[in-house]
A and B are shown apart, each in its own frame.
Chain A
């Protein structure tokens, strides 16, 4: 059996998206900036895609700019908001401890430039507390950036409430919605979102393309200087094929969203229930307020990379927040932020399901994870010490 359970890392392109892409790699290869017919046809598809995407998130087409993906959109949104704040003498930014590195590393950069950064804690359920956000906002706060849904533990933040507070306090609000767009409803107007980042390959589009929504009136700084593409806010010849595929993929994802989310939520519950039968294990993040596709667990006494390699042998592609999978010595900052100690955070497993995941596959995953965890524990000195009472169980 071959099971792809790493849809938060990337997704397979849908047939619809591939079909929407191919003509722009082949016969309609013109440069959208060219005056002649071939160029203008390419221009038309970009503008049609912009309109479709804007409509889906309830924005104006002029508020969408195409980027190389979620990381670029995050960088541009945050650096732009910081530049706007700087002009007004505001140099304080609020974010969370569980953001993607595209956000955290950009904030680190700003900190070195003299900005002050407050990272809100997320507590055990992996969700920020509104009262703590309210308390953190200051006179000189220029930006609040809180991810829509977390990539590791899948928790969904109270975006609408955050948006309302930011709007009332006149602070710009950016959300990294890379894991959310195409999977859960996103409405920039209703949620009072000023800036939003998205990435096509997370919703069955192509890699290397994404978009940034910036509410009208927000002046974006360019990260890439050059031509006047994207109304001067993002130079470089547009990724026409990728943009066309992204719009097609998003339209399809949104039209299937309701049925797909309901089904995924049901199989997610079964997977959580099955893995919970493993002794001394725990689900990471809130059980309900999480992406329909995300299941994240910690298992005591084992290490995540070994678990992933053995699951790969069983045909299951998954991921882990273990240090050993990242090449760093520290396990995932997200798992540490929800209070998992290092020893336990090393033994993490993330399974992210897709529309094509079957009930049968879920049962297979449960059985194989149980077997592999038991096997690795059978020769783990940590597990021995936990069982003999030499050290205390945490989970």
Chain B
């Protein structure tokens, strides 16, 4: 049995949305080189829609594949939808990850959250009102 699913290998070999957005509206970076994974997400947001997304990743095959899949899952989607993207959804879309690689999908989720947080920090008026719990 192969280490990774065909989907993981596809996204690893042909990563989607690789690169940098120079005038990004939100940038998020998570992980650290000491642990062997760093993910950086760049978002372009227009009228509450994620119109473009790019990533850069230092990491293993599943980290690269998770970043790639996460960008696909949020591209063209409303911000509110990207906010709720979970690591599980990323892993499932990749037809699963080995247990000890699940943290790669967590990094993808966190990178997007960080980039959105950066966007709201720069555009406080866009931040949704706190809903009562």
Using a CB–CB cutoff of 8 Å, the interface residues on chain A facing chain B are 301-306, 309-310, 313, 322-324, 327, 329, 331, 341-343, 346, 379-384
* Cross-chain contact A306 with B33 (CB below 8 angstroms): no
Q: What are 27 sample pairs from A and B whose C-beta atoms fall under 8 A apart?
A: A302-B58, A303-B58, A303-B59, A303-B60, A303-B63, A306-B59, A306-B60, A306-B61, A309-B12, A313-B13, A322-B36, A322-B60, A324-B36, A324-B60, A324-B61, A327-B100, A329-B36, A342-B33, A342-B36, A346-B36, A379-B15, A379-B18, A379-B56, A379-B57, A380-B57, A381-B56, A382-B33
State in angstroms the CA–CA spacing of A4 and B59 once bound together. 24
* Cross-chain contact A382 with B58 (CB below 8 angstroms): yes
Using a CB–CB cutoff of 8 Å, the interface residues on chain B facing chain A are 9, 12-13, 15, 18-20, 29, 33-40, 55-61, 63-64, 100-101
* Cross-chain contact B56 with A305 (CB below 8 angstroms): no
Question: Nearest B residue to A380 by beta-carbon distance?
Answer: B58
Interface of chain B: mostly helix, strand, loop or mixed: mixed
State in angstroms the CA–CA spacing of A322 and B61 once bound together. 12
Interface centre among A324, A331, A383, A384 (most CB of B within 10 A): A324
* Cross-chain contact A346 with B33 (CB below 8 angstroms): yes
* Cross-chain contact B64 with A381 (CB below 8 angstroms): no
* Cross-chain contact A381 with B57 (CB below 8 angstroms): yes
Question: Nearest A residue to B103 by beta-carbon distance?
Answer: A329
CB distance from B53 to the nearest CB of A (A): 14
Question: Nearest A residue to B56 by beta-carbon distance?
Answer: A381
Interface of chain A: mostly helix, strand, loop or mixed: helix
State in angstroms the CA–CA spacing of A327 and B104 once bound together. 13
Q: Which residue of B18, B33, B35, B61 contacts A309 across the interface (Cβ within 8 Å)?
A: B61
CB distance from B14 to the nearest CB of A (A): 11
Which residues on A sit within 8 Å (CB–CB) of B100?
327
State in angstroms the CA–CA spacing of A341 and B34 once bound together. 8
Which residues on A sit within 8 Å (CB–CB) of B19?
379
Which residues on B sit within 8 Å (CB–CB) of A306?
12, 59-61, 63-64
Question: Nearest B residue to A320 by beta-carbon distance?
Answer: B60
Which residues on B sit within 8 Å (CB–CB) of A346?
33, 36
CB distance from A374 to the nearest CB of B (A): 14
Question: Nearest B residue to A331 by beta-carbon distance?
Answer: B36
State in angstroms the CA–CA spacing of A331 and B33 once bound together. 11
Which residues on B sit within 8 Å (CB–CB) of A380?
38, 56-58
Which residues on A sit within 8 Å (CB–CB) of B33?
342-343, 346, 382
Interface centre among B38, B56, B57, B60 (most CB of A within 10 A): B60
Which residues on A sit within 8 Å (CB–CB) of B101?
324
* Cross-chain contact A303 with B15 (CB below 8 angstroms): no
- Given A306-B12, A309-B12, do A384 and B35 touch, yes or no (CB 8 Å)? no
The 6 nearest A-B residue pairs measured at CB = A324-B60, A343-B33, A305-B60, A346-B36, A342-B34, A381-B40
Which residues on A sit within 8 Å (CB–CB) of B13?
310, 313
State in angstroms the CA–CA spacing of A322 and B34 once bound together. 11
State in angstroms the CA–CA spacing of A275 and B132 once bound together. 59
State in angstroms the CA–CA spacing of A383 and B55 once bound together. 14
Which residues on B sit within 8 Å (CB–CB) of A329?
35-36
CB distance from A284 to the nearest CB of B (A): 17
* Cross-chain contact B29 with A381 (CB below 8 angstroms): yes
* Cross-chain contact B58 with A381 (CB below 8 angstroms): yes
State in angstroms the CA–CA spacing of A93 and B92 once bound together. 49
Which residues on B sit within 8 Å (CB–CB) of A327?
100
Give 9 new A-B contacts, CB below 8 A, not counting A304-B60, A341-B34.
A303-B60, A305-B60, A309-B12, A309-B61, A324-B59, A324-B101, A327-B100, A343-B34, A382-B58
* Cross-chain contact B56 with A303 (CB below 8 angstroms): no
CB distance from B89 to the nearest CB of A (A): 22
Question: Nearest A residue to B101 by beta-carbon distance?
Answer: A324
Q: Which residue of A305, A310, A381 contacts B38 across the interface (Cβ within 8 Å)?
A: A381
Question: Nearest B residue to A382 by beta-carbon distance?
Answer: B58
Question: Nearest A residue to B18 by beta-carbon distance?
Answer: A379
Which residues on B sit within 8 Å (CB–CB) of A313?
13
Which residues on B sit within 8 Å (CB–CB) of A343?
33-34
State in angstroms the CA–CA spacing of A384 and B33 once bound together. 13
Question: Nearest A residue to B99 by beta-carbon distance?
Answer: A327
State in angstroms the CA–CA spacing of A380 and B40 once bound together. 9
